Structures are given as structure tokens and as C-alpha cells.
Structure 1
Amino acid sequence: MVTLIEDPAAGQQTTTDQQPSHSLRTRTSSAKPKKNALKNVYKKKNASTTGTVLEADEKDIKTKLISTTSASTPEDAESLIDAVREQLSQIAIQGSSSHKSNKNERHESTEEGNSCASISLLPDKTAYEVTDNDPTPTQPITQQLDEQLKDIEEKREPAKPSKPRAATRQKGDTKSQQTYVNDQTRTSYVQPILNEGMSTRSSRGIQHFDKWANRAVGFFDVRKIAEGSYGEVYELCAKDGVSKASLSSSRSSKLQAYMDGVFKIVPLCAQRGPGSKKFTTVQEIVAEVQLLKLLDPIPGFARFREIHVVQGRFPPSYQDAWNLYSQTKDDCFNPDPSKKKSYPDNQLWAILEMENAGFELEKFKFSSVFQVYDIFWGVALALARAEQYASFEHRDLHLGNVCVKQKQPPQKVVRRRKSSDDDAVVEFSACLGTSGLETTIIDYSLSRAELPLYETPEAAPTCETVAWSDLEKKDIFDAVGRDEEEKFLRDTYRMMRSEVFSSPSSNTEQWKSYRPRTNLIWLSFILTTLVNKCHSEKLVPTHRQPLGQRSANSNLQPKSSNTKAKQAKNIKGKQDVEESKLSDEMQQVLFERLETVQDLLELEDEYENLSCAGDLVAIAIGSQWLAESDFLC
């Protein structure tokens, strides 16, 4: 290899092949690259080696370097390098004529490991060597050079061109491909559902089922809690030892986002081919999500969080939860998600994320009439509010679509005097909320409501002002029950259908019309079921038997020294008896009210004053069964 080295003092060029013993070292392709090309600006030479002296004035070089560096900016890094190189080129290397006489000595010193000072300005460039017989006076200059060139290197780093945007975008696309399904046809098919998403992550596209589920791995255990004809419900339970106090702020917020939430997982119809004639359609999911958003602020309805669309088979955590539910529960009828004959590998699922509303009413264990009273009127009040707000009909309000949660501890029963002149006449307060239970209506897959006209950034103005579902496409009217309860439920479906198709026309568009008496039909179903539970579980207090003759020894005082304690105990016992008696009386009154309402809901008698749930609530307020504030809350 031939490398030309320019000697500014001699004004001529020499070649390394002509002077093979020259000590100036050149970077070759086989040499290892230095970690920092500007690290060693000057190294002390062996005293026995013939050196050179710097002819340039120390102060001039220092002044020029500082002025050049201070006048430059990080954006002008290349110009700064050239300026420094020009300053260094002015350093005259003295004794060039003695190179030949001293070349053997210099070569020997190099082989012995004596380092020669060098300045390497750029990688893969010729290194200029600067040596001195007396390094003492030149030490400050070389230190200054070292500092200046380090500053240049630091300024050059921000000036490096950043990665092209296309490369960054490609990296982001790779990450999104791992999270989202890259299928434009299927994405377009579910786009109406994606438009209803509340966040960018959910509305962007179809997510892989396992990737979506992995977001909660490490924080929660998955548990299946319910199942219906159109989907299954899962909840996330925090793992043992996981709490917000033991996590960072980011993970704590993630924990809070999933805390107290449930996921309703619904299989979607395929766009074409196998699976296109079963499961839930995209339009039905869109209608349900719109209703969830619409009814979210109304007390007594589910709190909506998010809608997701995923593809694939159940992740292991959800499949394990399904297996455990099928082994421990007797109401598992949906097909096994792990079997290919049940669902294909690319099955689409809609996941509705909501707050946990508690236990299903059909699984709730009653302990008092107070609970029955609060549950029934809680459902009736919610329906009345939704009727007034959005002309709402639920159309599928069986006990599995009413959830119950203990929000407050039970309250003590109180009574008030009706008249101060007559102490014997008393009346009870409305007593709604005595049990502390909160009721929530869920599952609007068959419901109907009027939607407001609004625009969203993702979609055009809403053209359809009514969210509804064609129940004629559902296999619910011809089914026959296996026991008395199920027969009653199937008869309720058929009674509701008769109410909708009261006119001779058999057009299925009638399901789009507003028929609020269907809410009364379902309230009658709920109340009749609850009243039967009161009888079967013996919740209604029985009348006490009259007391017998008092014992002759009842006035005898015991000789025990703990008389006061026993007297206090007897007083407390009497108070407990009075409270128990008052509670029994109140439960009897509430049960009689429910029986009266049951008579009012005998719709075969065509009670003209009742046309919707709001009318029933108005009668209850007028009869002081409810307070006006109960409806307004």
C-alpha cells in the first residue's frame, strides 16, 4: 500500500515505499479501529529519539483554535474540523532533512513500544505525528488541542443525521404488525365496530387475541363468571401480593384501569362461508355498544369502558378459566373454544369491557324482603328513567340480565308518627335502600332505543336514529321450557312478541317501533319470580304466637353479685326483640305492597292506566311506596 504524506515544511511528497523505516504510521484496512480517533492528541516521546520542535508560536495557535471553536456551531462541525486541520498544517516539522539519518533509530524506538504522538482527525485518514525533544514548553498547547478536539467531537455527535423517517415508520409498522392483524378485508368488515372504540388502541384495527390478553399478564387471574346465548363474561382478579402500593405509577395506573372490570366476549359472524349464518352480526354489536354509551350515565345501567375486536383462539389464561367453569358449574352450554369444530383459528371476537356490576340475580341468595323490595324497584326506576331519556325497551330482562351488588351495609328500620295526637297510629317510611343493594341492568343485545344525532371524528353523522334488533332472527319464541321457571320465561317472550305485533302486519320492522309495555311485561316476570322466592325461601315473617302465662317465679331476684350486668343484658335483649319485631312488621308491609303491584301488572286485564314503567313508578310515588327523590337520583 502506498500512502502519500504531505510535508508542509519541505513542500514535497515522499512515499512510504521509498522510506520504509519512516516512523509515521498509516491506518490500514487490517488495523483495528480506535475507540476514539481524537483521544490521543499528544504522547511523550522517548528522550533518546531525535525529535522535532514546533515552529508556530504557542499563543498564536492557542488563540486561533479557541476563536475558531467559539465561532462555530454544532451544525458547522465539518467546517470546524477543516479549520482545525488547517491550523495544524501550519505546524512546521523541523529536521526533515535528518529523517534519513535517524530513521533506523526512530524505527527501533517504535518497535520497542515507545509511542509516537499522533493526531487522528477522522477515521481512515492519515495520522499526523508531532514530536518534540523538550516536551515541557509544548505541554500546555497539546493539552489545549486535546480539549478543543474533544469539544469538536462532542459537537459533532448531535449534528449526525438522524435516521430517516421511513426507517422509524418501518419499525413502528413492525410493532403494530405484531399487535394488529394485517388484513384489510377483515378490518373493513368490522370497521363499524372499530369506529365505536373509545381509544386509539381499540379503534386502530383487529388485535391478536393473545397479544390483547398479555397486557394484563402478571397482574390478574382470569375467571369466567357467567355465560349467555350470545357470549361469555369473564372478570380479572388481582393476583395475590399485587397492590397499587407495591407498583410503580405506570403499572399502578394499568392495574387501576383493569380493576373491577368484566369482559363480555362475543363471537362474530364470518363475513362469508362457514360461520356466516351463526353467532352475532357486526350490526348487532354496533347497536349494543351505542346503547351502552347512551345509557351509561343513567343510574341502574351498566358502566361502559371500551370495545375491542380480536382474532384467534382463546389465550391460555382464558381457556383455563373456561375449563374450570365447565368442570364446576352446571350451566356451561357454549362450545369449547379450544376445539376447531367450535371456532376456526381466525375467529373474530367482540369484547365489551364494562365495570363489574356484581352477581346475577338468578344466582343471588335472598335473606329478607328488604332485598326483594329494593331489587324490584331498582329495576323499575332504571327502566322508567331510560324510557323518558331514550324511549328504551330492554326486551330480554330475565334474572340473568339483572346484577346485584352490596354497596352499603343494611340500614336499621325506622318508623315515624303519622299524628302527634294519636300515638297508636304510625306509618313506615318508603324504606327503599334499606338492604344497601344496588341493581344494574345489563346486556342490551336485543334492546331498542332512540339515539341522538351526533358526529364523531371517525365517522359521518349518524343516519340511523334507532338502535334495535330483529328478534325474528333469534330462536327464542318457539322454544319449550324444561321446568316451570323456564316455561314461564318462554311464555314471557311470546307475550312480548304479541305486544309488538299487535297490528295485523307481520313486517319485522315493527321491532323498530316503540312499545314500552314490553317493559311492564318483563317487570311482571321479575316480580312474580321474586314473590315466589319469598314464599319458597320463607322470607315472609310469620305472625308470632301469643305469649303464655307468666311464671310465678319471674319476680325472684338472683343472689348473684353481677345483677347490674344481667339487667343491662336483659334491656339489650328487649331492644333486640323490639327491633326484630319492627323489622318483621316492616317486611310484612313491603311484601303486601309487592303483591299489590303484582295485581296491577296482570296485563290480561288491560289496565289502561299502565302503559310503561314510568306509569308504574308514578303510582308508587303517589302511594308513598317510593319517594320522589328515588326517581330523580
Structure 2
Amino acid sequence: LRVLAWEDVCPPGDRIEKIAEASYAEVYRVTNERGTSIIKVIRLESPLRPQTKTQQRSGLVDEVPHGEEDLQGELRISELVADIPGFVIYKEKYIVEGKTTPALLETHQTFHRRAKRKDPDRLQFYPSPSRYLKDTRFLVVELGDAGTALEDLEIESAAQIWDVLLGVAVALARAENLIRFEHRDLHEGNICVRQVSPARPKSDKSACQFGYSGLDVTILDYGLSRAEDTNSPDVAPVANDLERDLSLFTSTHAKQCKVYRQMRSYLINGDRLWLPPQEHNEPYEKDLHGSPISWLRQHPYTNVLWLAYLYEYLTTNFQGPEKELTAFQKQSQEFWTHLNPESPLEIMSFSSAEDIVEFAAEAGWITEEQLAG
């Protein structure tokens, strides 16, 4: 891989903006006269300047650096999803080495000030660029621009809820079908939205609910994902072995931490009853068949869990008219009953994103033409 300096990634005249944090990576948008790219910045095993006393007092928790071999799975999955609509476009990867630029430091600080205002308890996991040394190294993955992180979208209409929820479900269903894909980390920071056309009112009485907001939805970040090349059956599936670090399942720092526990509990027990943080203390626990749980195996119900999380996120963060939200919840009540992982066990649950899209199509919320598009 070629080695660049931060001045090469964002020279004077270019604009860099930190837009999200993903598993193992910070996400920036770089804009210049040639266009816009998203870069995922993943710290490799390399030195950092020690934390200052102020940083120590603020509760800064440094993200563990990664060896380049740890990242091969995510890069391989990026290639597998590249041609599937709804997934971010992969451009290239390279190494960045050395000290920061003023623009990088400024946008890092701006992002964390804004995040603290929204959530005063939020911890900072990624080291300030002020601590980068001449030998600090990063793997940078350059992607096509996908718009704004969902966590920064003001959700003001039911049309936005429908388009984000169904757009993500359709992309996941396609990927399940083509490469047996599970995202396993699909929170609001790993979904991007972009306004590609004006919102339009629904003027007919059809059941269709999809395609009125003008939003385009893109899924990114495959650090925890699972997929396989179905055209090469002799090639092993690609997956991050999440048993190597159980802190993912014991952490309580963010709302999505519950979904990590729900996923692992499902692998262990095969049902929707999820284990509390303190019970995720033994790696490779046995499943119902007496075998150690394996993240290499396909468990498409994990996609259902994340779509349930997304449904709750969209409705909880809705800022539009209350009657619109009430109407959406009433119309999707049966759907939510089968999606909600906390529904009574006697209620049948969706088993995959494909299952969810089939329900949406049968309800008329999305048309065959839209699914084929």
C-alpha cells in the first residue's frame, strides 16, 4: 500500500469534516474541487503521545489499535457488497503516517464538542490528533460520499421513517440473498442518508409508503460483519470473531450495546431471551447443540435485531407532528409485533431481512417495481 501524510489526504484548500465513529474507525468527509469522498481512519499498532492530565480526567478511553491482518475481513466484505445497491462505494485504501494537520485537529474537536452537547455522558474513544507522532500509522479506506450520518438527521416526517427503515431492510435483504450477509453493527452512525430529490406528498390512496421523502439510504462500516462469496463455495466465510473481546457484550456506554448482547444471546440460546451484561463472561460458550458459538455461521436474525433497533431509533427521535408518528405506529403495529425482540415468545418473529421485506411487499408498502429497481 502507498504511504501518505495527512497533508496529502487533506491539503490546504480541501475541507475535512469528522462525521461519525464506527467500530474501530473514525469517519471523515473530504471535499475538494474533484468531488467528495468518505474516509474511514483505522489506527494501526503504532506509538501515540501519552494522554495529558486533562484527557485522563475527562475519561478518554483509547480505542485499541489493530494489526493490518485484523482488517482484511472488513476489506474483503467491502469488495463483496460493492455492487449491491444500498451499500457504500469502495474506492481505495492506503496508509497514512505522521503528525496531524490543523484542519484535522479542529474537526475532531468540533465533533466531540457537538457529541458532548447531545449526550453529556458520551465517552471519547478515539485519541485526539494532537497526540499523533511522526510514526503514528493509520489504514485509510476511501469510500464514495453517502451523505449525512443518520444520527445527524432531523426526523420530521413519517415519510423519512418509512424510507430509512424500508431502504435499509431492502439493502440487507439483497445482501442476505447474494452473499449471506449480516451487518451486526447497524446503529445510527453506520447508516447515511442523502437528499437526492424533493420530498413529495402522497397523493393517492394506495398502500405504498416507500419513496416519498426523497432520501437515499446507504449502509457502511463492516467491521463486525459477516459475508461469504457464494460464487466460490470452497472459500470460507468472512467474519469478525467477536468472542475475542467480550467487552463488546458487557459494555453499557451506548443504547446499541443491548443489541450486541441480544445477538450473542441468540447464538447461545436460539431464542429472543437476552442475557444481561454480567453473563457474557465466558468466550465460546456452548450453544443449544453443545457446540461453541461461532460468528462464522450464518445467523440472519441478527439483521432483524438491528432493524428493530432502527425502528425504535426512528420513532424515539421523531421531531415531526405527533399525529404523524401515531399514524405510522398504528399502521405498523402488526409489523412491530413481529419485529420487536421483546414481544412474547409465542408471537412469531421475523427470521431475516428477506422475511421483513416480504411482509412489507405483501402489505403493499413497497412495490415490485421498487424492489426490482
**How far apart, CA to CA, are the structure 2 residues paired with 1:358 and 1:260?**
10
Matching of residue 393 in structure 1 with residue 182 in structure 2: yes
Matching of residue 499 in structure 1 with residue 281 in structure 2: no
Structure 2 spans left out of the alignment, 5+ residues: 51-62, 117-121, 270-286
Q: Is the 8 A contact 1:593 1:625 kept in 2?
A: no
Look up the match of 1:626: 366
1:225 to 13, 19, 40: 19
Alignment-mate amino acid for residue 493 of structure 1 = Y
Look up the match of 1:449: 227
State the Cα distance separating 1:477 from its structure 2 match. Answer: 0.5
Alignment-mate amino acid for residue 340 of structure 2 = E
**How far apart, CA to CA, are the structure 2 residues paired with 1:268 and 1:500?**
30
Matching of residue 360 in structure 1 with residue 156 in structure 2: no
**How far apart, CA to CA, are the structure 1 residues paired with 2:333 and 2:70?**
37
SS of structure 2 residue aligned to 1:428? coil
Q: Is the 8 A contact 1:374 1:435 kept in 2?
A: yes
Q: Is the 8 A contact 2:197 2:214 kept in 1?
A: yes
1:131-157 Cα offsets, whole Å, 9 max, x none, are: xxxxxxxxxxxxxxxxxxxxxxxxxxx
Matching of residue 468 in structure 1 with residue 232 in structure 2: no
Look up the match of 1:174: none
1:190-216 Cα offsets, whole Å, 9 max, x none, are: xxxxxxxxxxxxx4x4x1424633xx5
Alignment-mate amino acid for residue 130 of structure 2 = S
1:356-382 Cα offsets, whole Å, 9 max, x none, are: 212221221111111111111111111
SS of structure 2 residue aligned to 1:400? coil
Alignment-mate amino acid for residue 321 of structure 2 = L
Bigger RCO (CA 8 Å, 6+ sep)? 2
1:267 to 23, 28, 43: 43
1:13-70 Cα offsets, whole Å, 9 max, x none, are: xxxxxxxxxxxxxxxxxxxxxxxxxxxxxxxxxxxxxxxxxxxxxxxxxxxxxxxxxx
Report the RMSD for the aligned CA atoms in angstroms: 2.7
Q: 1:387 to 1:328 in 2, by over 3 A?
A: closer
1:265-318 Cα offsets, whole Å, 9 max, x none, are: 1101359xx9xx932332332111111121122111111111112222323432
Matching of residue 479 in structure 1 with residue 251 in structure 2: yes
Q: Is the 8 A contact 1:284 1:445 kept in 2?
A: no
Q: Is the 8 A contact 1:209 1:315 kept in 2?
A: no
State the Cα distance separating 1:518 from its structure 2 match. Answer: 0.7
How does 1:329-348 map onto structure 2 within 5 Å? 329-330=115-116, 333=124, 334-339=126-131, 345-348=134-137
Look up the match of 1:209: 5
Q: Is the 8 A contact 2:155 2:320 kept in 1?
A: no
Q: 1:270 to 1:606 in 2, by over 3 A?
A: farther
1:70-108 Cα offsets, whole Å, 9 max, x none, are: xxxxxxxxxxxxxxxxxxxxxxxxxxxxxxxxxxxxxxx
Q: 1:371 to 1:324 in 2, by over 3 A?
A: closer
**How far apart, CA to CA, are the structure 2 residues paired with 1:348 and 1:209?**
10
State the Cα distance separating 1:443 from its structure 2 match. Answer: 0.8
Q: 1:268 to 1:623 in 2, by over 3 A?
A: same
State the Cα distance separating 1:327 from its structure 2 match. Answer: 4.6
SS of structure 1 residue aligned to 2:40? strand
Q: 1:452 to 1:314 in 2, by over 3 A?
A: farther
SS of structure 1 residue aligned to 2:332? helix
Q: Is the 8 A contact 2:4 2:94 kept in 1?
A: no
Q: 1:608 to 1:351 in 2, by over 3 A?
A: same
Identity between Structure 1 and Structure 2 (%): 29
Alignment-mate amino acid for residue 345 of structure 1 = K
**How far apart, CA to CA, are the structure 2 residues paired with 1:538 and 1:217?**
40
**How far apart, CA to CA, are the structure 1 residues paired with 2:166 and 2:76?**
26
Q: Is the 8 A contact 1:385 1:631 kept in 2?
A: no
Q: Is the 8 A contact 2:182 2:225 kept in 1?
A: yes
Q: 1:609 to 1:372 in 2, by over 3 A?
A: closer
**Structure with more of its chain in helix, by fraction:** 1
Q: 1:372 to 1:539 in 2, by over 3 A?
A: farther
**How far apart, CA to CA, are the structure 2 residues paired with 1:410 and 1:292?**
31
Q: Is the 8 A contact 1:528 1:598 kept in 2?
A: no
Look up the match of 1:523: 307
How does 1:5-16 map onto structure 2 within 5 Å? none
Q: Is the 8 A contact 2:207 2:363 kept in 1?
A: no
**How far apart, CA to CA, are the structure 1 residues paired with 2:316 and 2:16?**
35
SS of structure 1 residue aligned to 2:129? coil
Q: Is the 8 A contact 2:338 2:348 kept in 1?
A: no
Q: Which has the larger radius of gyration?
A: 1
Q: Is the 8 A contact 1:296 1:303 kept in 2?
A: yes
Q: 1:617 to 1:326 in 2, by over 3 A?
A: closer
Matching of residue 300 in structure 1 with residue 72 in structure 2: no
Alignment-mate amino acid for residue 401 of structure 1 = N
Alignment-mate amino acid for residue 412 of structure 1 = P
How many residues are matched? 332
Q: Is the 8 A contact 1:223 1:236 kept in 2?
A: yes
Structure 1 spans left out of the alignment, 5+ residues: 1-202, 239-254, 416-426, 455-461, 542-583
**How far apart, CA to CA, are the structure 2 residues paired with 1:607 and 1:326?**
42
Matching of residue 372 in structure 1 with residue 161 in structure 2: yes
Alignment-mate amino acid for residue 539 of structure 1 = P
State the Cα distance separating 1:493 from its structure 2 match. Answer: 1.2
Matching of residue 594 in structure 1 with residue 325 in structure 2: no
Look up the match of 1:234: 28
How does 1:72-111 map onto structure 2 within 5 Å? none
State the Cα distance separating 1:511 from its structure 2 match. Answer: 0.5
**Structure with more of its chain in strand, by fraction:** 2
**How far apart, CA to CA, are the structure 2 residues paired with 1:596 and 1:398?**
23
Q: 226-235 vs 392-401, which deviates more?
A: 226-235
How does 1:128-277 map onto structure 2 within 5 Å? 203=1, 205=2, 207-210=3-6, 212-213=8-9, 216-238=10-32, 255-256=33-34, 259-269=35-45
State the Cα distance separating 1:436 from its structure 2 match. Answer: 0.6
**How far apart, CA to CA, are the structure 1 residues paired with 2:26 and 2:46?**
19
Matching of residue 514 in structure 1 with residue 252 in structure 2: no
1:431 to 181, 186, 209: 209
SS of structure 1 residue aligned to 2:321? coil
**How far apart, CA to CA, are the structure 2 residues paired with 1:325 and 1:493?**
25
Normalised by the size of structure 2, how large is the TM-score? 0.80
Alignment-mate amino acid for residue 160 of structure 2 = Q
Normalised by the size of structure 1, how large is the TM-score? 0.49
